Structure 1
Amino acid sequence: MPSIDDIVRFFSGAALLMAGRSEGLKRLDLSADGFWQSFSAIVVALPPIALSWIEFESVQGEGRVTDMGPVAVYGAHALADILAWVLPILVLMLVAKPIGYSRKIVPLVVATNWGGAMLAWVFAPYWLIVLFVGMGGGTALLGTLVTIASIALTVRLIFFATGKDLGGAVAVTVLMIVGALVSYGAVMDVTGIALI
């Protein structure tokens, strides 16, 4: 696990990329060790991601945790989110050479890992709002805005991490969205637990 100072530096690098400043890459560790260490971003993002599970089960799950047990329900959430995080990366690593991304794969993966963790923390207040206020018209609209902002910031992050390749940035973002839907669908099919 990286230190708190390193995490803050990686988050600031991701934020700079999202702000349109390519020098954000200099704050990321693009070495071989940094590539593998970037997967610890999943652990860093776990608290706000877990908050989204709690919100879903408390507000939308209608007491399913008590029926099926918290281990099964939250385990299904965890499995789906880990698959959703890792599956697009595996696909990208497999196709990197044929699509000309061999040199872009390391900055892309490192940036998206730390950017994903940062966005999880940035948007955590939304889950708290829904937990305390409930799901209504206002919170649903806010959720839509959060989703749009997350997608737009991810496209910008990838665009600047890959040397300003807009088509690639959009394609990778779409792959991430599709990967998440496939992962959630697969886990729901296997477990029978609704996750979205």
Structure 2
Amino acid sequence: MNEILGNFSGAFALMMGRKSGLDRLDLSADGFYRSFAAIAVALPALFLSWMQYEADGEAEFVPNAGSIEAYGAHLMADLLAWLLPILCLILVARRIGWSRKVSPLVVATNWGAALITWMFAPYLALVLMVGMGPNLALVGSLLSIASLVLTTRLCHTILQDWPSAIGLTLAMLALGLLAYGVVMDLTGVSLV
């Protein structure tokens, strides 16, 4: 638990523009691979988002909505949306001169994504309890914008270049949406 909180505090410091956040993250080869444990750390909060989507009423016209198949499709989409941008970054890093920045970016974005996922958890729990209304929809939109801003700031703190940080964040977003589209095509389950 202390390691998780330390990683969260490092990612949060980077989101606040403090490069010292990198000192709280393990950027070694072992730390690189261990940072993928952030996916498991995020799973309970991700499950809340799947429950909220399935309970929202949008999924009522989808066959098997709320079933094991639907939750499996959510899991597959979120895993692909998490891992595809990392794979693409690793493939292009050398070509764009980011070889030394791959490990800090992957470790920080893994823990940053888990932290942001947990930041959404109270909101999702509230939506599950009281239902979606216009005020909660506005809060959800603001949280989504905040997550993009925080991710961009995290990337900027590592890259020290706003255009690159914005481009990387938009690429991660686009690849995540692509992952959702691929999984919806493969499974026939509506996810967005």
Structures share fold, TM-score greater than 0.5: yes
Identify the residue that residue 3 of structure 2 maps to in structure 1: 6
In the alignment, the residues of structure 2 paired with residue 42 and residue 60 of structure 1 have an alpha-carbon distance, to the nearest angstrom, of 27
* Alpha-carbon distance between aligned partners in 2 of 1:190 and 1:13, rounded to the nearest angstrom: 37
In the alignment, structure 2 segments of 5+ residues that lack a partner are none
Percent identity of paired positions between Structure 1 and Structure 2:
53
Q: Could you say what the CA RMSD is over the residues aligned between the two structures, in angstroms?
A: 1.4
- Quick one: which amino acid aligns to residue 24 of structure 1? G
Cα displacement (A) at 1:60: 3.0
1:174 aligns with 2:170: yes
Deviations 1:78-129 (A, max 9, x none): 0000000000010000000010110111000000000000111112111111
* Letter matched to residue 19 of structure 1: M
User: Does the 8 A contact of 2:59 with 2:65 survive in 1?
Assistant: no
Which of 79, 82, 92 is matched with 1:82 structurally? 79
Q: In structure 2, how many angstroms separate the alpha carbons of the residues matched to 1:173 and 1:27?
A: 22
TM-score, structure 2 length as denominator? Answer: 0.96
Count the aligned residue pairs: 192
Query: Aligned partners of 2:176, 2:66: CA distance in 1, in Å?
Result: 24
Quick one: distance in 2 between partners of 1:82 and 1:68?
19
Which amino acid in structure 2 is aligned with residue 79 of structure 1?
M
Rounded to whole Å, the distance in 2 between the matches of 1:127 and 1:181 is 20
- Structure 1 CA distance for aligned equivalents of residues 45 and 141 of structure 2: 18
The one-character-per-residue Cα deviations of 1:39-63 (angstroms, maximum 9, x if unpaired) are: 1100000000110000000113444
TM-score normalised by the chain length of structure 1: 0.94
Residues 20-39 of structure 1, C-alpha deviations (whole Å, 9 max, x = no match): 11100000000000001101
1:189 is matched with which residue? 185
Name stretches of at least 5 consecutive residues in structure 1 with no aligned partner: none
Which range is displaced more, 164-173 or 108-117?
A: 164-173
